[in-house]
A and B are shown apart, each in its own frame.
Chain A
């Protein structure tokens, strides 16, 4: 297939496994974000695709070609590094030209001073200059071509690194936390630019980040990774609303999803601290009930909760509470005007739309809801 195909990739550093049989498909022209906490193996996976890291087992295909044993230079990929990895001795123009010079010029033509007189060097150099100028101006670097990386701001360096990646139309873009060294406002702006660059180039892109908001806003699909495994790959909306694993549910979403320890009896009736919540699930035993902060609604009846603090965020309120019987902390997201109708402290009741409830079994796997119990207290 076109795009990128990773097949059962395994890698361990000493006794510690960093990749556990990871498989991943990125379609041609797709933007896939690889998101997970630091140390989950996402960078190792990306570097393995680039060929910088050598996995112990598994296969990698790029653009329909098996590249497993190939060197990075033979894989036809371009990479953007967290540190930008620009060559400090070269100007912006020379930096962007490196990938082209390495491919369009032979060793003799690349020689300093005399290289220019080698046969064919002139035409090759002219074509390189033309492509470099075009890539640079598409990123607004036209005025900076003669500067060195040391004279540029972080955002400008980032653009040079992007220009170096797009100048040679590769089969895949690989990006390793490219925005994490930028300040917050620049990050939001550069996000859109990277998406635009990806649209224009139409090349399979793997984008590694630890920032879930980057993953959710930029990607066509999001792969959530933890402890060397990909837990779920799905569209941003699906990852958020329909997580298949408790770790995905708790990693994605800010503030964190509310999780309550629960118990399902032999009939599958779910109870939190002995109180039926109105759900019947497949299976029985200890469960975890998870509800997003914006899905909880305050009222007089329902799940009891004690108010602790209220935070005003401008466009919304965060209300911090706890469930008295289990001591579990809870958080609610409310519209600011709802504050008027709420007590400042004391115990209230919480309700939630039952179809928005997520239930996970003891191993953290999602459990299907069998039916809603209309007689239960928490049905809305």
Chain B
């Protein structure tokens, strides 16, 4: 009796494992096919001299990375990307926070303002870039027309190497701020009202005191998430560069992803392009690591 009871147990164990694998299969296959395989292929490619259409390729070890170190174009792209992230990330995070606080404290029009500022996020980046091209046009653009109205001769925003990165950064801020705003609004609604009441009773009379005592600390997790996501989005800048400047003039707006695109799809040097992609991947992974390991400890209080 007891033997017949014990026997079926292992069989049910394997059956359970099989069912588990079958249930996981769709997700696991999709993940492998869509993410893991291309990533591994890119890593492999970075160590070859493969060019699109070439009949063969050779393993060249770290040669691609050696070339990156001496490539002036890549150095400019890296510098410009860091500069771009350095402008876009803080300003669109602070701007999003400021707007969220304004909308939250306002009594009406909340959903209207939220929709208005969120619009750039849901609109087509390429179409919006065309609109920006018109707005920033040196002769017929409304921005310079307005500047002329107050007696300033506006620069050629997108075709002067002095201003092109600033102009692209402004567009980047405009694109990211709405997204950050919505995330901050969600974070603000999650702060318990009683904490503000407690802060008032405790003597935090001014808005600044309440912000420092309640809003800012309790927004910590939200802010961390917003900062990481904005930085990765800014590192990924591509659409506006591709449509508006193609990295020009004279590489003044060359960025990482556009350099990668040019190497891979204009010069067909897929191996070299893959090496640039790995640098990009390393930057993104470093940001994610920074979030999970270093900053998480300082914003979650439990």
Contacts and interface: CB of A to CB of B under 8 A. Distances in A.
Interface of A: 47, 50-52, 71-74, 77-79, 81-83, 85-89, 98-99, 102-103, 148-151, 164
A63 to B, nearest CB: 15
B209 A102 contact: yes
Interface in B193-221: 194-195, 197-205, 209, 213-214, 217-218, 220
A82 B209 CA distance: 23
A78 B192 contact: no
B200 A72 contact: yes
B302 interface: yes
A71 B200 contact: yes
Contacts of B201: 50-52, 72-73, 77-79, 99
Interface residues of B, number: 20
B301 interface: yes
A73 B194 contact: no
A81 B302 contact: no
A89 B209 CA distance: 15
Interface string B55-78: 000000000000000000000000
Contact of B203 (A47, A73, A86, A88): A73
Given A73-B200, A79-B197, A102-B204, A150 B217 contact: no
Contacts of A85: 192, 194-195, 197-198
A83 B194 contact: yes
Nearest to A161: B198
A126 B131 CA distance: 61
A148 B197 CA distance: 20
Contacts of A98: 199, 202-204, 213
A72 B218 contact: no
Contacts of B217: 87-89
Contacts of A74: 205
Contact of B214 (A72, A82, A87, A148): A87
Nearest to A72: B200
Contacts of A83: 192, 194
Most buried by B among A71, A81, A89, A149: A89
A176 to B, nearest CB: 9
B301 A148 contact: yes
Shortest 5 CB-CB distances between A and B: which pairs?
A: A102-B203, A150-B302, A85-B198, A89-B217, A88-B301
B301 A149 contact: yes
Contact of B218 (A82, A88, A164): A88
Contacts of A51: 200-201
Nearest to A104: B203
A89 B200 contact: no
Contacts of A149: 301
A81 B194 contact: yes
A50 B213 contact: no
